[in-house]
Amino acid sequence: MFEISVNSKAINVDVEPDTPLLWVLRDTLQLTGTKFGCGVSACGACTVHIDDEPVRSCSITIEDVAGSNITTIEGLAEENLTAVQQAWIDEQVPQCGYCQSGMIMAVSAFLKENPAPSDDEIDNAIDNICRCGTYPRIRKAIHNAAKKQGGQ
Ligand code: FES
Ligand code: FES
């Protein structure tokens, strides 16, 4: 039995110690906003926050995150959408949408580190893969969110 906090709720999960966190989120807790893409930490579709850091949940076990605070896309906003989520709507970023919750989680953590990034800094920091090629709109939305948050 492992105790984790998911979206500010304490939860006990009874799974094998080597179960990937992504499996626990999607299969055990039915939090299906976090997606499976590659399973090998390459695409970023499964990105969540663990203790406020972006982590690829397909490649970390439940044993490794026991006692941690995990935030998924379902728990990112409290009452209102975050600036990043609103910018995603304003710029109509998603195409098929599959990669986008991972993108939003990665970008949300990135903008805390760098509130006013350049295009190069965005390209270097956000290496999530989008099969639909929404990268130009993602960049635009990141600048939009940075402005909303008081960056530029
Ligand atoms: S599914 Fe985790 S990085 Fe691709
Ligand atoms: S919007 Fe389709 S994979 Fe990114």
Distance, CA 33 to ligand 2 centroid (Å)?
Answer: 14
> Is residue 98 lining ligand 1, measured as CB closer than 6 Å?
no
Q: What is the rounded distance in angstroms from the CA atom of residue 14 to the CA atom of residue 149?
A: 39
| Per-residue model confidence as pLDDT tens digits over 59-82 | 999 999 999 999 999 999 988 999
Q: pLDDT band at 44, cuts 50/70/90?
A: very high
What whole-number distance in Å separates Cα of residue 52 and Cα of residue 101? 16
Question: What is the pLDDT, as a whole number, of residue 94?
Answer: 98
pLDDT at 51: 97
Residue 151 above 90 pLDDT? no
At 18, which amino acid appears? D
**Model pTM score:** 0.97
